[in-house]
Structure 1
Amino acid sequence: MVSAVSLLCTMKALHVLVLLASVVLLCRASPVLEPVMCNEDHSAAAARLAVHDINEHHKHGYKFQLSEIKENKMDKVEEGCTIELHLDLLETKCPSISPKHFEDCETRDESQRAVMANCTVMMAVKDGNADVTKNDCDTRLVKTNSEMHRICPDCPSMIPLNSPEGLKAIETAVHEENINSTNEHFYILQEVGRVKSGWMSSQGMYYSSEFVIVETHCPMGSRIAIEACDPLCPDRARHAFCRSFYTQGAGLQSVDCEYYPALNKTALGPGEKEPQCKNPHLMLLPRPAGPPSPPVHHPSAGGGRPPSHGHGPPSFAGSGPPPHAHGHGQGPPSFPGSGPPPHGQGPPSFAGGQGPPPHAKGPPTRERVLPFISPCNGFLAYSDPALNPICPKPLPEPRHIPKLERS
């Protein structure tokens, strides 16, 4: 008979093995890249280097994988060669903040609203060293909302990342995560990955969202209004990738977050304060002026969240609305899944080109203003507002965006 002590030791050993395995998977070194040579067999190594470089510079949205080498051209020059590649990439389910290597990530199929990118990449090879000098990608849905609805009328639409209705659902989810997690600090929204919207006959419109939250300097349980919380420096902050499900009729149904460790875990010295940094990837929620939201108090502190809260998460396979959603005759309104966003006419639009939201009466507060999503310095004026595009390399200088007036 196995003693209780032996059983306990075995269980502890298994627990340690599981933790070690998780650390190995999380911290596994990136695969070694093959050298790019100026010969007929250069295409595979060159394409792999190109996709690696694209993901290294892609600091928002999701990681991409190589789907197909459409064309490649090599020209010999002194001491080396130049290579031009035409590649098809597929968006993966791994957010850019994930430590997982892009080649180990799962891609979406068409029913999950797959996203692809057609890329032209220029590369210079000299003295055995290859350098990606330029890339230009067209990021788009494999099937537009219109094309998808012809195949599946009840399937959800991809809606703009700054949709007011979608952001309301996400803000509710972020608030719920702060209330129910055991984190040491408050978290705020960093970026929206994607939002799908559909219709449920019993609950009205629903919003299935994916987004990233970032750790702030505000301790959990403090009396600081969340609006005043700034994120920690990008390398010192923990991040989390979250999925939520929200309906107009019942509100937030679920939120589930996967947390990633900070890149810089160096402890602060005695009396040393957290450094102040500007987060270049922070996405801010639109918030009308008025009394600041009350602080969220939490009785505990730790590093994650309880096993579960609220209702269990729905399926995120992306194959359509929940099983009880039906009736496309009363389906969701049309959303612009493709086409150019409004631009060049003053402040960015928040809702149907009507300008920024009206200010409510009341004492002024520090507003978090959300402009049109443009992670590429305003260069991609005609990118799909429902997607996180691959930015060109080299990235152009930022365009001037007029400041919104605040009351």
Structure 2
Amino acid sequence: MKALVAFILLVQLPVHRAVPAAPPPPLGCDDPESEEAAEFAVNYINGHSHHGYKFVLNRIEQVRVLRQGSNNEILLLELDLLETKCHILDPKPLANCSVRTFHEHAVEGDCDVKLQKLNGQFSVLASKCHSNADSAEDIRDLCPDCPILEWQNDTDVLTTVSRALNDYNSKNPNTYLRLLEIGRAVRQYHPVRMVSVEFAVAVTNCTAQQAKDNLEACQLLPEDQSNFGFCTATTVTEPSQDFTAECQLYGHQPGVTYPHPGQDTSAGLVPSDGQGFINHNLRISHNNPVASESSSSEFPSLVSAKSVAKRAAAEVAQHDKVPHQVGFVAPPPPCPGKIRYFRI
């Protein structure tokens, strides 16, 4: 009888079952962890690019976190970047690099990046980037007289580069520069007619006289002595003729290399892989063997920036149609994040 009473009492006791922990709230695009991950990703992209310019974060379009266990997360980021005025060989920190304005014919980068955060440390598992310049029509609509990006193999562009190199080498007989790549070129028609170029250079093992005697013998300095630089030049043809050029050498930077010096460029001809485009594409320049060849399957949860923007606009429109409680303010969608500079 006592056993029966004990059993009945046991059955009547409340049963306490383990309740699974609620999943953490989704990570917003402007949350500190998202911004920390995006900063790491941008530095990685710039560190693995070998042509063109450094890029800076403009907006986090989408972020998703896949939790793998304690102190182990996979983050999938979709980032909008903007081109700066710092060439990738420029030692200047990214924070000190000016972003090209819309009126300077801006170039936008789009990147999907897959990172792991293990014990608080980020690492990039995969990435996929491309970049493109804003359309010339958009620039002309808002600024009809602004300079527009020109093809880098344009005859006037190559002539200006060649003249600038010859000008520097003639004035610095002990240092002979060789062209590495044309970074960008723009053409303007009003109020002046001109072509402006920017290009990367390197010091060779020749003096001006040695180059004149035997140009083929002039090679870039070895890696432990390498010295890269950057030049700008402008040729004006109307209303009067003018030419200006300026070069800056960065000095030796340990560990900094230029992987594709190209064919003979000392005469001002652009390397063969630098022809036929108006801007260096991150798809080309971000050449880490694992990262740049990542397939789209690495990023199954990410949607395009346009899709995100359209969805966000639709949600806002739908939100406006629904009656709201007085004093209630709906929280903003976690993504896309804020625009840091301007929208292209």
Indicate the TM-score class for this superposition, using the shorter chain for normalisation.
Answer: 0.5 to 0.7
Report the Cα offset of residue 252 of structure 1. Answer: 6.0
1:46 equivalent in alignment to 2:37: yes
Structure-2 separation of matches of 1:57 and 1:71:
22
Unmatched 5+ stretches in structure 1:
1-37, 266-277, 288-292, 294-366, 375-383, 398-407
Q: Deviations over 1:25-83 (max 9, x none)?
A: xxxxxxxxxxxxx9955212111111111111112211111111111100011451211
Show the counterpart of 1:131: 123
Question: Residue 186 of structure 1 contacts residue 226 of structure 1 at CA under 8 Å; is this kept in 2?
Answer: no
1:191 equivalent in alignment to 2:181: yes
1:389 equivalent in alignment to 2:281: yes
Report the Cα offset of residue 286 of structure 1. Answer: 7.2
Larger radius of gyration: 2
Q: Deviations over 1:252-277 (max 9, x none)?
A: 61001122011249xxxxxxxxxxxx
- Matched residue SS, 1:154: coil
Q: How many residues align?
A: 257
Task: Return the TM-score normalized by structure 1.
Answer: 0.57
Structure-1 separation of matches of 2:207 and 2:184:
29
Report the Cα offset of residue 162 of structure 1. Answer: 2.4
**Letter of the 1:218 counterpart:** C
Structure-2 separation of matches of 1:218 and 1:72:
51
Show the counterpart of 2:109: 117
Question: Residue 114 of structure 2 contacts residue 125 of structure 2 at CA under 8 Å; is this kept in 1?
Answer: yes
Q: Please provide the CA RMSD for this pair.
A: 3.1
Structure-2 separation of matches of 1:368 and 1:385:
15
Deviates more, 1:62-71 or 1:120-129: 120-129
Report the Cα offset of residue 368 of structure 1. Answer: 6.6
Show the counterpart of 1:263: 253
Report the Cα offset of residue 157 of structure 1. Answer: 1.8
Structure-1 separation of matches of 2:149 and 2:91:
26
Would the alpha carbon gap of residues 148 and 169 (structure 1) be closer, same or farther in structure 2, given more than 3 Å must change? same
Q: 2:274 aligns with which of 373, 386, 389?
A: 373
Structure-2 separation of matches of 1:74 and 1:236:
44
Q: 2:213 aligns with which of 224, 232, 236?
A: 224
Question: Residue 244 of structure 1 contacts residue 254 of structure 1 at CA under 8 Å; is this kept in 2?
Answer: yes
Structure-2 separation of matches of 1:261 and 1:54:
23
Report the Cα offset of residue 158 of structure 1. Answer: 0.4
- Matched residue SS, 2:55: strand
Would the alpha carbon gap of residues 131 and 115 (structure 1) be closer, same or farther in structure 2, given more than 3 Å must change? same
**Letter of the 1:99 counterpart:** P
- Structure showing greater relative contact order (alpha-carbon pairs closer than 8 Å, 6 or more residues apart): 2
Structure-2 separation of matches of 1:39 and 1:129:
20
Show the counterpart of 1:213: 201
Show the counterpart of 1:162: 153
Would the alpha carbon gap of residues 283 and 193 (structure 1) be closer, same or farther in structure 2, given more than 3 Å must change? farther
Question: Residue 207 of structure 1 contacts residue 245 of structure 1 at CA under 8 Å; is this kept in 2?
Answer: yes
Report the Cα offset of residue 396 of structure 1. Answer: 4.5
Task: Return the TM-score normalized by structure 2.
Answer: 0.66
Q: Deviations over 1:333-369 (max 9, x none)?
A: xxxxxxxxxxxxxxxxxxxxxxxxxxxxxxxxxx977
Show the counterpart of 1:329: none
Structure-2 separation of matches of 1:252 and 1:396:
45
Question: Residue 179 of structure 2 contacts residue 265 of structure 2 at CA under 8 Å; is this kept in 1?
Answer: no
Structure-2 separation of matches of 1:47 and 1:234:
31
* Percent of aligned pairs sharing the same letter: 25
